[in-house]
Amino acid sequence: MNGKTYERRLHHHRQGNPRRPAQSLKGRPAPVWFSSIKQVFAYTLLPEEPKAIAAIYVNDMATAGADGVPDPAAWIDARQAFYVIEGRFVGGMGAEDAMPFSLRDRAEAFAQAHGGRVVAYADVPEAYVFAQ
């Protein structure tokens, strides 16, 4: 990537507990961390935030073992992921959060076992993102 490219990458990674999505911005020495997937969605939806996002990545929960920890190297394009929303998963802010999966069938299985429904990135409702 050359110096003229405006790059934004949103990452979701696990650093201990809880899972932490992050955004790394070109020209900044360190990533900007978010506490939840919902915060990542909110950032991309808020009109006052920059929209030149080149890539968004999340950790694929389809790779999670019995302990619920995903493979830290299993990055997926957030815009291609499927999310379980409105379920019983509690995220980094102590509130219900979305769970990203690379495969719809894995997301469906998780939703069936833990509640919630499956949506694609583009179909995440604003009402869900900004619900109190």
The predicted structure's pLDDT at residue 11? 44
Q: Domain residues for 21?
A: 8-129
Q: Would you say residue 106 lies in a domain?
A: yes
* Domains: count for the chain: 1
The predicted structure's pLDDT at residue 14? 39
Q: Would you say residue 1 lies in a domain?
A: no
Q: Would you say residue 2 lies in a domain?
A: no
d(CA 104, CA 101): 7
Q: What is the mean pLDDT of the chain?
A: 77
Q: Would you say residue 26 lies in a domain?
A: yes
d(CA 45, CA 111): 24
Question: Which of these ranges, 19-23, 85-89, 115-119, has the smallest mean pLDDT?
Answer: 19-23
Beta-carbon contacts of 23 under 8 Å, excluding residues fewer than 6 positions away, are 8, 9, 10, 11, 31, 32, 33, 34, 40, 43
Q: Where do the H-state alpha helices sit in the chain?
A: 37-45, 104-114, 126-129
The predicted structure's pLDDT at residue 27? 52
What is the per-residue pLDDT across 32-77, written as a single tens digit (0 to 9) for each? 667 788 988 888 888 787 666 666 788 899 988 888 778 878 888 8
- Strands 55-59 and 8-14, by their bridges, are parallel
